Amino acid sequence: MYTYENKIWWKRFFFIAALLIGAFSLWYTDSLVKVLASEEDKKIKLWANATRLLIKGEGDINFLLDIAKDNTTIPIILIDDKGNINATKNLDSTHVSDTAYLMEQLEIMKEQHEPIKILYDETNNRFNYLYYKNSFILSQLKSYPIIQLTLIAFFALLSYFTLSASRRAEQNQVWVGMSKETAHQLGTPISSLKEWINLLRETEKENQEELLVELDNDVRRLELITERFSKIGSDPVLKPENLDLVIENSLLYLNARTSSKVDLSVSILKPGNWANINIPLFDWVIENLCKNAIDAMEGKGKIVVQLNHDEKHVYIDITDNGKGIPKSKFKTVFKPGFTTKKRGWGLGLSLVKRIVESYHNGTIYVRHSELGKGTTFRIVLQVE
């Protein structure tokens, strides 16, 4: 089954794999850079030596000229001991007559490498200085992996966000579509059931009243479920309601269906908690939160729904004394698919969050939780 935990592991796996690929490609180009740099170093030393011999007029002149010509990639500036530029090589040919350009190049060369001293006149101890910088290929190779990885990371992030936005839109469509379809499918058997009940009521008058009341209750419950699904599938109408009453009714309903070992109560800190809500959907929220609380306490314990408000907000705190939620999971519990239960779908809280945030413009979060002691979920709505 594709669960939230699986998703987290896949995300970690891809993240680590991407880091490893990035690190490997950096390491690999770095080793290429090192090889190329040492080749260039050897080449420039050979060139310096050939230049020295040429200036001194020693050795086979043709051979030395060949070596001197051989360097077609490494930019060079040769300076005498008075600071005059004697020769340049492999610099931008359109600018070599421009002194400012040459000085700028010289600065770059000074930053990159120590100059090579060429002793050409031993008796007068006269030197030339050979300044050089990395060839175009070497400097490209040095910056290439960084540019490449930055671009790849940028596109990966962009596609991740685009994909998750489109996936969210798709999820929305599925939520809405499935809910509408469920409501629609339930409609027909419910109206037919109602007709059957009417028929029974007319024909079997005696001894059947108890059974008919129960049937009526079940049909009403089915209608409520259908209403919830149809509300989730369309824009629900919100009305100003007194939450004190709504929650009291909701808990009354739940109390009748929960074990007597669970104590459900309302505590109204400041009466008159009015907000714009849709009752069937809001009941669903309270029902889901209380069901989770009951599961967390393994059958026995206390649930308190506390209501309070200030000038702008209504606060609904649902507190249980169950097993608690670790701090690291305060946000995760709302993700679809996250569950710690054998038979859970991990959908309850994501539905709750959806109803509170998308349909009621409110917020819901874990306000407080302590392992082994209990949990408080808080819903905040705007005051009507």
- Choose between 228 and 323: whose C-beta lies nearer to ligand ATP: 323
- Choose between 216 and 357: whose C-beta lies nearer to ligand ATP: 357
- Choose between 275 and 325: whose C-beta lies nearer to ligand ATP: 325
273 contributes a contact to ligand ATP by CB under 6 A:
no
CB 381 → ligand ATP: shortest distance, Å?
A: 20
User: Which tokens sit at 301?
Assistant: 């314990």
By CB under 6 A, which span of 189-197, 234-242, 277-285, 344-352 interacts with ligand ATP?
344-352
- Choose between 48 and 356: whose C-beta lies nearer to Mg ion: 356
Residue 287 binds: one of ligand ATP, Mg ion, none (C-beta under 5 to 8 A by kind): none
Residue from 115, 236, 280, 346 that binds ligand ATP (CB under 6 A)? 346
For residues 328-357, one letter each, b for 16 or more C-beta atoms within 10 angstroms of the residue's C-beta and e for the rest, the string is eeeeebbbbbbbeeeeeebebbbbbbbbbe
Site string for ligand ATP, 302-331 (x = CB under 6 A): ------------------x-xxxx------
Residue from 132, 229, 284, 338 that binds ligand ATP (CB under 6 A)? 338
Residue 108 binds: one of Mg ion, ligand ATP, none (C-beta under 5 to 8 A by kind): none
Instruction: Kindly tell me the burial class for residue 247, based on how many C-beta atoms sit within 10 Å of its own C-beta (0-12, 13-18, 19 or more).
Output: buried
Residue from 138, 215, 224, 347 that binds ligand ATP (CB under 6 A)? 347
- Choose between 101 and 330: whose C-beta lies nearer to ligand ATP: 330
Q: Please check whether residue 159 is in contact with residue 101, taking contact to mean a CB–CB distance below 8 angstroms.
A: no
Q: Please check whether residue 86 is in contact with residue 78, taking contact to mean a CB–CB distance below 8 angstroms.
A: yes
Residue from 292, 304, 309, 356 that binds ligand ATP (CB under 6 A)? 292
- Choose between 273 and 350: whose C-beta lies nearer to ligand ATP: 350
Instruction: Kindly tell me the burial class for residue 312, based on how many C-beta atoms sit within 10 Å of its own C-beta (0-12, 13-18, 19 or more).
Output: exposed
CB 378 → ligand ATP: shortest distance, Å?
A: 12
Q: How far is CA 311 from the centre of its chain?
A: 35
CB 189 → ligand ATP: shortest distance, Å?
A: 24
Amino acid making up residue 3: T
CB 288 → Mg ion: shortest distance, Å?
A: 6
- Choose between 230 and 292: whose C-beta lies nearer to Mg ion: 292
CB 375 → Mg ion: shortest distance, Å?
A: 13
Spatial distance between the Cα atoms of 22 and 149, rounded to a whole number of angstroms: 7
Residue 340 binds: one of ligand ATP, Mg ion, none (C-beta under 5 to 8 A by kind): ligand ATP
User: Which tokens sit at 290?
Assistant: 């209380």
Residue from 341, 361, 363, 371 that binds ligand ATP (CB under 6 A)? 341
Positive or negative, the Cα torsion across 355, 353, 4, 346? negative
Q: Residue 77's beta-bridge partner residues?
A: 88, 131
Q: What is the total count of residues that contact ligand ATP (CB under 6 A)?
A: 21
| Three-state DSSP class for residue 120 | strand
Residues with Cβ within 8 Å of residue 284, at least 6 apart in sequence? 228, 351, 352, 355
Map tokens 């030393």 to a residue: 45
Q: Where are the alpha helices (DSSP H) in 233-347?
A: 243-256, 279-296
Residue 341 binds: one of Mg ion, ligand ATP, none (C-beta under 5 to 8 A by kind): ligand ATP
Residue from 264, 349, 356, 380 that binds ligand ATP (CB under 6 A)? 349
Q: Residue 121's beta-bridge partner residues?
A: 126
CB 187 → ligand ATP: shortest distance, Å?
A: 24
Nearest to 274, CA basis, from 245, 237, 250: 245
Q: Please check whether residue 194 is in contact with residue 216, taking contact to mean a CB–CB distance below 8 angstroms.
A: no
Q: How far is CA 113 from the centre of its chain?
A: 44
Residue 134 binds: one of Mg ion, ligand ATP, none (C-beta under 5 to 8 A by kind): none
Residue from 183, 333, 356, 379 that binds ligand ATP (CB under 6 A)? 333
First to last CA, the chain: 43
Positive or negative, the Cα torsion across 159, 162, 167, 170? negative
- Residues making contact with ligand ATP (CB under 6 A): 292-293, 296, 320, 322-325, 333, 338-341, 344-350, 375
